[in-house]
A and B are shown apart, each in its own frame.
Chain A
Amino acid sequence: MNKLQERATDLLKGGTVKLIIGFEQGNNKIRPFFCEKPEDAEKLIYSDDCSTNNAVYLTKKELIGDNKIAIIATYKEIASIIQLNKENQIKKENLMVLTVDKDGDVTELTSFEEMEKFCEENTPAPDPVVAALIEKIDKMNREERWAYWKSELDKCIRCYACRAACPLCYCNRCISEVNCPQWLDPWKSTLSNIEWQINRVMHMSGRCTGCGACAKACPLDLPIGILTKKMSTDIKEMLGEGEGGNVLSTFNPNDKENFIH
């Protein structure tokens, strides 16, 4: 057993945690794994190919209940946990955050300061494919852009995998499910597919950590991850880092716009 598996065995055996959310080898890909028994700990793996963002499970009450749990976290999970905490969605006393370094050593991040520091030191390099696509679209004029998104989002089948895979899409009642008033047509059509993505991206503005889980989850491989990515870049440029939360939940009494008063 490696150090991660040993640590997991100890945590489960000693009853420190009831559940460890980590990764296991699936069918030709690494997938999320819910480890509840010490004898299953040897299935836990950790590598650069752990690509899902397992922080998505932290807001699922039916899975974690009120139990103390551990999560094997990569940069993605940690960035999401920090944001979830800002939004009061995390019970820190019930959550143990474990990271694995390149030597296989397991470290517990016990405070949000440590998590912030981890993220600063381990920020992944920007994905060149994503950057190139954003650049390509930035160079398009309005008509070309409209044609591009119309053609891409026309393919969307409204399975909401993008919503389901996102750790920050945790609303009990999504805007797409509200029918009084009906904000969005809930059926597949080019325009309402576009509206759905616009809504998703607006709700993510200043919150999205750029993990790309939405794009990875899309069964049709639609370039929806660049929407949230571009939005977060724009928000940072226009409004700064957003110290006190995010752009949708903060306001300044001295705002030059008067609708806030």
Chain B
Amino acid sequence: MEKYIIKTEQIDAWLKRIIESVPRVLAPVSSGTKTEFRRIKSPEEVNNKSLTTTVSAKAAAFPPVETLFKYQKDGKDTTLTEDSFDKYPETVLWHARSCDAMGFSPLSAIFDWDYKDNIYDERRNKLTIVTFACNQSDECCFCTSVGGGPGNVEGSDIQLTMLNATDTLVEVMTEKGQKLVALLPDIFQPLSEEVDKEAVLAKIPVQFTKEEIKEHVSNAFDSPVWKRQSARCLGCGACAFVCPTCACFDIQEDAHGNHGRRLRCWDACGFSLFTQHTSGYNPRPTQATRWRQRILHKFSYMPERLGVYGCTGCGRCSRACPVDMNLQEHLISIANSNHE
């Protein structure tokens, strides 16, 4: 890892150079009451004060809908065409948070679990992630309870930490990060003395550990806790769609007579249709069984099978939920109780 100091006022000049050099730069942009990752053309568009976007950054590598292949029928012949990977642009994800960067590790674990998902991998490989360490948090944040933190560098290519009114610490973690620094090298001064990064980070108390949750939920399949917690859940897909690690998708056909596209689209385990069989039978017939699946997948099945947890503590699901299904609150309750 290389560490530098940059004058905070020079960050925009560097971002401008990045925008000129990289085909696609995504950054938090505000519109109305909400802030989302959007393609930017100038540094002025970025909302530097944004804590988190409503929807996570996962769309940069796993878009809400994407074409797997196209087909064309011509008499007895059918031609399949895959999209060229050249279409996926080199992308810089600017002003992401530690919880955004951490989210790509569980996503990669899922997409490369058995079959290597070339489409996801290609998009992910073309992604360079620049995170800004958090000096503020809100009541939905719980990254420190699931192994992350406001200054965690896992998954980041570069992390910036505002140390004071004038100076920003730059931690360059990877070669991809070095390439961005090389775009305007003169503004980066090598770190001459150690700085206290921790001191400027948001203080987010640890409420539980992810291992604790795993231990509790792994034996709680038949616990009444799921029904109790999910009673008010409306069964929409908001939590899954804003989540940085939810990777469930549906395969759809965009058919037009003798030609069409096969698509991969975001799906959500909270929908009753998610597990509905053609026969009409549904193995997860109630919201309680669907809520249980959500929690067990993230905190039991994923660590057991993939060695990674499916939650970064970003709190997006809690902010998005129309009925205050607050994940942190539910996990604290799970950690503190003995579910028979």
Contacts and interface: CB of A to CB of B under 8 A. Distances in A.
Interface of A: 26-29, 31-34, 52, 56-57, 62-63, 155, 157-161, 163-165, 177, 185-189, 213, 216-217, 219-221
A137 B260 CA distance: 37
Interface stretch (B39-47, B102-110, B234-242): B234-242
Interface string B245-282: 00000101010000000010110100101000000000
B238 A159 contact: yes
Nearest to A28: B139
A214 B306 CA distance: 37
Interface in B289-337: 318-320, 322-324, 326, 329
Interface residues of B, number: 42
Contacts of B54: 219-220
A46 B238 CA distance: 27
Given A165-B236, A187-B65, A63 B231 contact: yes
Contact of B65 (A31, A160, A188): A188
Contacts of A33: 232
A219 B54 CA distance: 7
B157 interface: no
Contacts of A165: 234, 236, 322-323
Contacts of A213: 322
A161 B238 CA distance: 6
Given A159-B236, A217-B236, 13 more contacts: A26-B326, A27-B140, A27-B318, A34-B231, A157-B237, A158-B64, A158-B241, A159-B237, A159-B238, A161-B238, A164-B234, A187-B263, A219-B319
A31 B254 CA distance: 40
A160 B320 CA distance: 12
Given A27-B324, A187-B263, A164 B241 contact: no
A63 B237 CA distance: 19
11 contacts: A52-B323, A62-B287, A157-B55, A158-B266, A161-B320, A161-B322, A164-B234, A188-B64, A188-B266, A217-B234, A219-B320
Nearest to B66: A187
Interface in B117-175: 139-140
A178 B31 CA distance: 33
Nearest to A214: B322
B232 A186 contact: no
Contacts of A161: 234, 236-238, 320, 322
A221 B265 contact: no
B34 to A, nearest CB: 5
A114 B242 CA distance: 42
Nearest to B228: A34
Contacts of B322: 52, 161, 164-165, 213, 216-217, 219
Contacts of B34: 155, 220-221
Nearest to B59: A157
A188 B64 CA distance: 7
A29 B320 CA distance: 13
Contacts of A160: 236-237, 271
Contacts of B84: none
Given A31-B323, A220-B54, A186 B266 contact: no
